[in-house]
Structure 1
Amino acid sequence: MAKIAICLKLFCVIWITGIAAVPPKYYMDQRCGSTLTIDSSLPSIRLDLTRYSKYSNKMHCTLTVKASNISAKYPTRLLLVFREIDIKGSDFFGCSSNDDVLYVYDGNSSSAPSVKGLNNGLCGEREPRGGFMSSGDSLTFNFRSDWFGTDDGFKLLITPFHTGSCSGSEYRCTGGQCISGSNKCDTYRQCGESLDECEVTRTMSWIAGVVVGVVLIIVIIGVGIFCLKRFLRNRHSSGGVVKYTAAPQPTSPPMYQQPGVAPPYQSGPTPGYYPTGPDTTGYQQPAGGFYPPPPETKGYPPQDNVYPPPYPPPQQGYPPATNPYPYGAPTAPQ
């Protein structure tokens, strides 16, 4: 239970911190003819035309936004970012003062010049890209609508900044503006860049990781090419022939053994070569019954015994000194 309570407390702290990081929202149609001061404790604010889905007809509303000093050394200014714009009309041919239109003045009244970089009158659905800076600490907004047809309006993000040296609690945008560090990682792009300030840092880290990965892949490919070239060079120097030594083949025992001679690799009879009989030393003709009768032999010369008597070795020289056939020369069959 104690662990569950700790987890719940931690969740509540994270949730409350996330809510506190979201810039507060104000509605222009509820503050017409007044001045909205951004306290130094507020890192930025959101300004919407209305809380409803559509703005009203026949509106003529003016609101001035003023920033408190956020630096004792450098003058405070305002950075304006358009989050969304949807005002009836088209800015292709220019917005008419008789239609629905938004004016943004660089000062504390509608008699001040337009903010540098913005058209003199905004309408349509194309929000201006980037951030737009005031020359002082105030911006004045004037919105007008005609008697028929309405749209969503606009959503703005306004952030106090200075262009001096950023303190440790501040964040420097890529354009050089120093804003409160609380604006970092709040999912809003106070600097007017395409991503939140935290996402910009993550993107840079991601790019660095990609570069390191690409370099590592190039090194691996280079090592592989080097090893392949070395292998091909060695193969070419040997004539392209792979030399090897054949393994020695085992010597098989003879499949047939002459009768009367003991096998050289054993001292007794071997199953498969000799019939099963009494264990003797050497080879002896066993008693009848172990060998099958010899097959009947036909042909020339006829023989009465499957094993004929051996003939004497031939005498050296010619003609022979003695008769080589003491038992008579063989005769042709009748």
Structure 2
Amino acid sequence: MDQYCGSTIDMIMEGIDDGKLVIDGYVNQRDCNVTIETWYTADRLHFQFEDFDMGSGICDDTYFTVYDGLDRVCGSGGVEGDFTSSGRYLTFRFKNGGDFSYNQMTLVFTAYHTGYCYSYEYSCDNGRCISEDSNCNGYDPCGDQSDCRLGVGEITGPRH
């Protein structure tokens, strides 16, 4: 995450439909803001935490905030749930108070829109359209567990 502090991750320029924001270990920045901008055909971001451990410090000193729908979170034990942005931009803040020795957090994000899904998109049960490349990525990019369905087919073999 250090390399992105104070900058915007432009999903168009990066050529990505989804990604991870990772804090793994010691973060050099004391106060780090990162913004993610979706591509112009998507109007929202879905995000969830794969893991979350900001140590046992005081929440006033060390915490993580999402400026669009998630208040300050701190401590250890994880952050449950799926979250969505209200628009194309999502800003995260990691405040490092320095009263800890190690932090670990992985935030997984996926761009989506609602409405008509194009042929290169996957249609989720909840009405979201995600990139076909995001389907079956192991992170529930739809937010409703409707990606990566197994189709029903014919099983062939010897009959008895």
Residue of 135, 142, 145 corresponding to 2:86: 135
Q: What is the SS of the residue equivalent to 1:197?
A: coil
Give the number of the structure whose residues are more often strand, by fraction. 2
CA deviations on 1:61-88 (whole Å, 9 max, x unpaired) are: 1111111212xxxx52111121111111
Find the residue that maps to 1:162 and give its secondary structure.
strand
- For the residues of structure 1 that align with 2:120 and 2:94, how far apart are their CA atoms? 36
Answering whether residue 119 of structure 2 is matched by residue 148 of structure 1, we say no
Gaps of 5+ in 1: 1-27, 107-114, 206-334
Structure 2 residue 55 is matched with structure 1 residue 88: yes
Q: Check conservation: 1:66, 1:137, Cα contact below 8 A.
A: yes
Once the two structures are TM-superposed, the CA of residue 190 in structure 1 deviates from its matched residue by 1.6
**Is residue 102 from structure 1 mapped to residue 64 from structure 2 by the alignment?**
yes
> Are the counterparts in 2 of residues 62 and 143 from structure 1 also a CA contact under 8 Å?
yes
Aligned-partner Cα distance in 1 for 2:45–2:125:
16
For residues 196 and 49 of structure 1, the distance between their equivalents in structure 2, rounded to whole angstroms, comes to 28
CA shift, 1:42, in A, is 1.7
**1:130 Cα shift?**
3.3
Equivalent position to 1:43, from 17, 20, 32: 17
Q: Deviations over 1:11-51 (max 9, x none)?
A: xxxxxxxxxxxxxxxxx21111111111184221111124x
Q: How does 1:214-225 map to 2 (within 5 A)?
A: none
The amino acid that maps onto 2:10 is: T
Q: Structure 1 residue 61 and structure 2 residue 40: aligned? A: no
Moved over 4 A (4+): none
* Partners of 2:56 and 2:31 in 1: CA distance: 17
* CA distance 1:42–1:57, shift in 2 (3 Å): closer
Aligned partner (choices 28, 33, 37) of residue 6 of structure 2: 33
Q: Is the 8 A contact 1:77 1:134 kept in 2?
A: yes
Using the size of structure 1 for normalisation, the TM-score is: 0.41
Q: Which runs of 5+ in 2 are unaligned?
A: 153-160
The corresponding residue for 1:184 is: 135
2: CA distance, partners of 1:55 / 1:127:
18
Deviation at 1:57, TM superposition (A): 6.8
Separation in 2, partners of 1:182, 1:61:
30
Q: Is contact 1:78-1:133 (8 Å) kept?
A: yes
Structure number with greater Rg is 1
State the secondary structure of the residue aligned to 2:73: coil
Alpha-carbon separation, structure 2, partners of 1:101 and 1:149: 11
Letter in 2 for 1:96: C
Structure 1 residue 104: Cα displacement: 0.4
Identity %: 33
Shift of 1:175: 2.6
Contact 1:77–1:133 (Cα < 8 Å) also in 2: yes
Hey, what does 1:197 align to over in structure 2? 147
Q: 2:110, 2:134 within 8 Å by CA — same for their partners in 1?
A: no
Q: RCO greater where, 1 or 2, for CA within 8 Å and sep 6 or more?
A: 2
TM-score by length of 2: 0.81
Q: Aligned to 1:121, what secondary structure does the other structure show?
A: strand
